Chains A and B, each alone.
Chain A
Amino acid sequence: MEENQIIERLEKIFSSVFGKESIVLTRTTSAGDIAEWNSLNHMILISEVETAFNLKFKLKELNKMQNVGDLIDLIISKSIV
């Protein structure tokens, strides 16, 4: 799957979880850039991403994640495997 397609799908998931009409994501977008992205709904977001891309993350992988770019890389690496 192309990176652009992943970002598009992520934008839909982010908008749905955070209850916003639309969210524009870049590789550098992090929790600090979206007021609604906090520790309380982070895992709901992760769960939605897992369902949408049909994959499972490990906690250790999530702990290293700093921004959307890391999430995209993780999704790509999991999709290849």
Chain B
Amino acid sequence: MEFNSILFVLFFSTFFFLYWFIFNKNLKKQNLLILAGSYFFYACSDWRLLSLLIISSFINYQLGKKIAATDDEKQKGLLTTLGVTFGVGLLFYFKYLNFFIDSFSKLIDSFGIHTSTHSLNIILPLGLSFYTFKTISYLLDVNSEKIKPTKDWVVFFNYVSFFPTMIAGPIDRASSFAPQLEKVRVFNYENATTGLRQILWGFFKKLVIADNCVEITNNLFDNYLKLPGSSLVLGAFIYIVEIYADFSGYSDMAIGFSRLIGFNVTKNFNFPFFSQNTSEFWRRWHISLTSWMTEYVYTPLTFAFRSWGKSGLLLAIVINFVLVGLWHGASLNFILFGFLHGCYFIPLVINGTVNKNPANTTDNFFSNLKRFINRSGTFILVMLTAMILRANSITEAFHYYIKIFSKSLFSIPVLPTQNPKSDLAIIFFIFIMFILEWFGRHTDFALEKLGLKWPKIIRWGIYMIFVLVIFIFMAKPQQFVYAQF
């Protein structure tokens, strides 16, 4: 069930009414309603694998309790390893097994030995990567005594399957999410209207920008052999915008719907296109995943390699990013994407320029110019690697680059389109998105504070314009890109 479907509108309206008007007096019942709603939401998309979600929740709930109950460090470690292995095993089987079978088969074939391996017919359970990461972090946090396990199974099952974040995150931690389930929630008008604004902004990015970009990039990359390098650069630009608008749009909707039922879900994007280096970019892009990876993968790796100085640090970064790439999907393209992003850190680590906050905060022409150059350079680096994700194979990705870095880069770009007026409109909306995000970059999302001090009529006029634009320009609905991860 997609957020932009009629079924979801009906589901959420009913849920909202029951949640705030019927079950609002009893926390336990309200939590049970969330669980029932989450399972209904999941079953509408993939009823066959709902049992896996329930089994995974049950096993991890029991393990969490057992880990906390024992004082024996060895037993704690064993139980945690068991739970993490179970989660990784699920991911391996459902997501990566076919990739390894195919890769192994190709490797054997390359030695001239013909094998008769067959890919298995495995359905990837919806949201598997997201809910498995939640359960793994839960067990690790219980093991390291950062959190106490919840004694209420409804709270834990809700943490794993909370419907607004089920399909594509953000990946919340139990430390911040479980306490919200354990206390009485009171309807907060301000939080709810902020949620509505965030949903509106999410719909605009997803339906108007991302879904329309799909057609443009499909036309462009499917015909790349006939096009000049400059068109591919334009295609790369539109493609990175498409991925961003799709995923951040989804995250905005997920966070917005959560706000409407009184939950504060972790922020997933913080205007990544305004980053001044790739390190900053990854602190602003898919924050819930990168912070997860930093805590549970990168930190243990750097701890293990700490005596190797900067070399150990770089090795940990590259391994971490290859795994980030692999998390996105089972293909060499994702691995290469992650590897390149890991390599982007090499000059930053060597020069020691990886700071939490960009040091240059002065406001004069030269520092502004420097920031502009840094931002543009970072954007171009990210844009060029995103093409690897669009290509059907690594060979095709290299063909893209050969095309781009040829003389035809300096020709006028052309878009293979049947509807140039519509394409121009989309490029205009992309421009609007960048402008609004730039001016709203110190808030949670572009529309959060926009016009709050203006007369109500003007502010509402702006919202209505967005609603109209969404209805007029929304394209044929496309699946959320990140739902497949």
Contacts and interface: CB of A to CB of B under 8 A. Distances in A.
Given A35-B356, A39-B294, A59 B313 contact: no
A36 B351 CA distance: 13
A64 B145 contact: yes
A47 interface: yes
A81 interface: no
Interface residues of B, number: 26
A44 B309 contact: yes
B406 interface: no
A59 to B, nearest CB: 5
Contacts of A39: 294, 298-299, 302
Interface string A9-33: 0000000000100000000000000
B344 to A, nearest CB: 13
B302 A19 contact: no
A59 B300 contact: yes
B354 interface: yes
A60 B144 contact: yes
Closest A-B pairs by Cβ, 10 of them: A43-B302, A47-B306, A43-B306, A40-B354, A59-B303, A38-B356, A63-B144, A35-B355, A35-B356, A35-B357
Interface of B: 144-146, 279, 294, 298-300, 302-303, 305-307, 309-310, 312-313, 317, 345, 349, 352, 354-357, 359
Contacts of B354: 38, 40-41
Interface string A35-77: 1111111111011001000000001101110000000000000
A40 B298 CA distance: 9
Main secondary structure, interface of A, reads helix
Given A59-B303, A64-B145, A43 B356 contact: no
Band of interface residues on A: 10 to 19
Main secondary structure, interface of B, reads helix
B297 to A, nearest CB: 11
16 contacts: A35-B355, A35-B357, A36-B355, A36-B356, A37-B356, A38-B354, A38-B356, A39-B299, A40-B313, A41-B313, A41-B352, A43-B313, A46-B306, A63-B144, A63-B299, A64-B144
B412 to A, nearest CB: 42
Contacts of B144: 60, 63-64
The residue in B145, B299, B300, B359 that gathers the most chain A C-beta atoms within 10 A of its C-beta is: B299
A47 B309 contact: yes
Contacts of B349: 40
A43 B279 contact: no
Contacts of A38: 354-356
B147 to A, nearest CB: 12
Contact of A62 (B146, B303, B307, B309): B303
B294 to A, nearest CB: 5
A63 B299 CA distance: 9
A41 B312 CA distance: 11
Given A38-B355, A40-B345, 6 more contacts: A36-B356, A38-B354, A43-B312, A59-B299, A59-B303, A63-B146
A23 B116 CA distance: 64
B310 A44 contact: yes
Contacts of B306: 43-44, 46-47, 50
Contacts of B317: 40
Nearest to B302: A43
A19 B352 contact: yes
A35 B355 CA distance: 6
B137 to A, nearest CB: 13
Contacts of A62: 303
Contacts of A50: 306
A47 to B, nearest CB: 4
B303 A44 contact: no
